[in-house]
Amino acid sequence: MAKLYFKFGAMGCSKTAQALITKFNYEERNMKVLLLKPAIDTRDGATVVKSRIGLMQDAIAVDAGEDLFRLYAEKYADCDVIIVDECQFLTPEQVDELADIVIQKDVPVLCFGLSTDFTTHLFPGSKRLFEIAESISEIKSVCTCGAKATVNARLDDDGRIVTEGSQVCLGGNDRYVAMCRKCWLKYRSQGLPVTDRT
């Protein structure tokens, strides 16, 4: 039986590279892959999924209101597997629609994305994935201190940690860096820039 997979990780853990490698692996086995990304994320062009290491693939951009079950059933029913990048931006309804595809069509759906925002709270899509995914696994990455990175820190122009603002802020001047909770608490309480880390 197919499963709904949630593969989560902090910023810079190579989630997108993992998504594209997974696509490559399926295609090597002559399986057809539907690659989706929420349209909210338009940093690399509406229909491109791009990894920092240099991998790149065209994807179908889906709006928040789009019914993914219908999309699959009506247009992409010949696909053997669905891969979603930046899945944290899916709506909970869309996660349910993906889960319906898994069960009713026996098609595996692999979702790659962040679990938490810069305030350490779950994104709506990630919350729903933790609730109903049949397989939950972490793509690990390290803090510069050597511990596991779990917090996605948002930094202002001076490299200081920001803890207020809107959950999604893709186009601004703020930057993100993944760090362990201990370092995040330390830099936050000291109000020092973390620029020497990135």
Site residues, its own copies (CB under 8 A): 1, 12-14, 17-18, 20-21, 24-26, 28-31, 52-55, 99, 103, 115-116, 120-122, 127, 130-134, 136, 138, 141-144, 147-148, 150, 180-182, 185, 197
Q: What is the CA radius of gyration of the chain?
A: 17
CA of residue 107 relative to chain centroid, distance: 20
> In angstroms, how far is CA 180 from the centroid of its own chain?
18
Q: Which is nearer to its own copies, 55 or 73 (CB)?
A: 55
Closer residue to its own copies in complex, CB, 17/84: 17
For residue 39, the minimal CB distance to its own copies (Å) is 26
Which is catalytic among the residues 86, 97, 131, 138? 86
Of 136 and 170, nearer to its own copies (C-beta) is 136
* Tokens representing residue 176 in the block: 């993100």
CA nearest neighbour of 174 among 188, 187, 162? 162
Let me know if 27 is a catalytic residue: no
Question: 34: which residues sit within 8 A by CB, 6+ positions away?
Answer: 60, 72, 76, 79, 81, 82, 83
Active site residues: 86
